[in-house]
Homo-oligomer: A and B are copies of this chain.
Amino acid sequence: MTRIIVLRLGHRRERDKRISTHVGLVARAFGADEIVYSGEHDQKLLDSVNKVALEWGGSFKASYDPDWRKRIKEFKGTKVHLTMYGIPFQQKIKELKTSESLLVIVGGEKVPSEVYELADYNLAVTNQPHSEVAALGVFLHEYGNMKQFTGARKKVVPSARGKKIVEKKH
């Protein structure tokens, strides 16, 4: 298993609250270990992602770090920046699977050009404009680092119709 940390750049409390929440939940659902938010500090965002992680199991954590530059520079492992301007991620994903630690950087609308230099790879999940949420989802899905989510309080029982959830009482 690769240790995967997602770094979400440039969060804005008002404008990005839902998108950033989705980025965090996608990181967790598709096998990342951690999400680090940069930009504006947003305790409600951290709490809501951490609450889902607690209820639905596993050891995923959301935290905040204002110093994204240092975070990227000092990261020991492979640094991937997801951007529509990059080369197709399919060209590199196989070699990335040998990494012990992976930092996956996802931006908002304005990513500082420095990020393109600090990253080891600038990779595109299609070269069309769409969504950092979907780019992260598709990238991690293809990476295949799926987790078991042990200790969950809530668990879905997959069904052809309707909703089935098992809840463990504490």
Contacts and interface: CB of A to CB of B under 8 A. Distances in A.
Nearest to A132: B22
A142 to B, nearest CB: 8
B133 A22 contact: yes
A149 B122 CA distance: 22
Contacts of A163: 83, 85, 116
Contacts of A125: 137, 141
A159 B87 contact: yes
A159 B81 CA distance: 12
Given A122-B160, A138-B138, A130 B29 contact: yes
A51 to B, nearest CB: 11
B162 A128 contact: no
A99 interface: no
A84 interface: yes
A35 to B, nearest CB: 12
A86 interface: yes
Contact of A122 (B26, B129, B159): B159
